Structure 1
Amino acid sequence: MGFEAWIGIAGFAGTLLLVLVGLLNFSVFWRQLRLAQEQIDTAVRQLEIAQKQPDLHLIQRAITETTDYVRLLMDHPHLRPYFYDGAVWAPGDQASLDEVKLMAELILNNFASALMHSAAFPQYPVRGIDRTIMFHLRRSAALREFLTENFDRFPFTGLTMLALKSETRAEVEADLQRMLDAPDVDDAERTRLTEIMELYRTSAPREAIEYTTHTMARRR
């Protein structure tokens, strides 16, 4: 075999070697590309989980705020009828009046916190908690009495809770009017109640939570 033939064979072998090296490099590159894609996919999933964390936290908070008192009722079952069954406290009951009032205060404070979070954070599941609040307000004289007797303690959420406890707009206006006519209401509270009455009378019917949103926006 001549020298030129060997040169041709060597050239072909060199070309083949270059092709094999290129294929090897491409294989390594392809594996690196797939690894990078997997890392990107993992990062995207982690980002999605991180983005959902606030929503999950708010959902958990909503559940806690609207059911936290249940544990206390389990420890004090004699209080349950006043908040689930429409029972009205009377002298001689197993529960004392102070116990009923303290439980009413705790429940309403939890409800107020839940409503304020609903107004501040769109992710907060208001559609679940408003049904819970409505259920208890309409079945508990203790809650209704504490709300109207201490309405000034719920400056952001009072009107919302009045709306949730009432079946008609007339009931809300009647509650506000009774509070306005109370002999012990001071000038500052009378002014606030008048503003609330005007807001309720002049505004179109709206979702109850919107009153909390409106009040919080005005106070900022």
Structure 2
Amino acid sequence: MYHSVGDRSDDPYRVTVTPARLDAQLGWLRRRGLRGVSVAALLAARERGAGRDLVGLTFDDGYADFVTHALPLLRKWGCGATLFVLPGRLGGDNAWDRLGPRKPLLTADGIRQAAAEGVEIGSHGLTHVDLTGADDAVLRAETAGSRARLAELTGTGPAGFCYPYGTVDRRVAEAVRRAGYGYGCAIDPGALTGPYALPRVHVGEDDTAVRLLLKRALHRWRRRPAAGV
């Protein structure tokens, strides 16, 4: 689970990795015989009983630096990824991060550019709100509404949804399923773990080879069987 790729001199939420660190992390994967792919590609491989050499790579929020910094490195290392974007904030910024700094988000053209290069585009909702506290109308807009907007933008309805802040409950997961998504990404959903609450591991600037090895081992240990949410 990545977010922004760029300058991290001001990074109070620790959501940014430098291009040099991402380059090293992708190289580490490849040297271990692993390859980064989109979540959709990973799930499809798992359904075939394959994919042990694949790692799903996700980039949340749709920062503009994905195209300028992350995409060239993914191309360099032959990796795919899923980019979760906010169609209600196209060309805006991360206003939800109270402490800042303000980071620009992708425009519609930037999202289409990423999609044209083979990046899977998924929804992160419309505006980045905690859906567990949303009323029914907001929940529909953030799930079904964002999917419709992205279908108009890219020509394809997204298969994946990513819960803002990683927060999900059974009601929210069910709304994502009803909206037509094939899967949902969380962070550490516990008993809800399943196709609509996939656990992910945060990757940051401090994650060198040893830390990545430990995080991969811990993630595999804590995975639980699908709960059928």
TM, length-normalised to structure 2: 0.28
Larger helix percent: 1
Larger strand percent: 2
TM, length-normalised to structure 1: 0.29
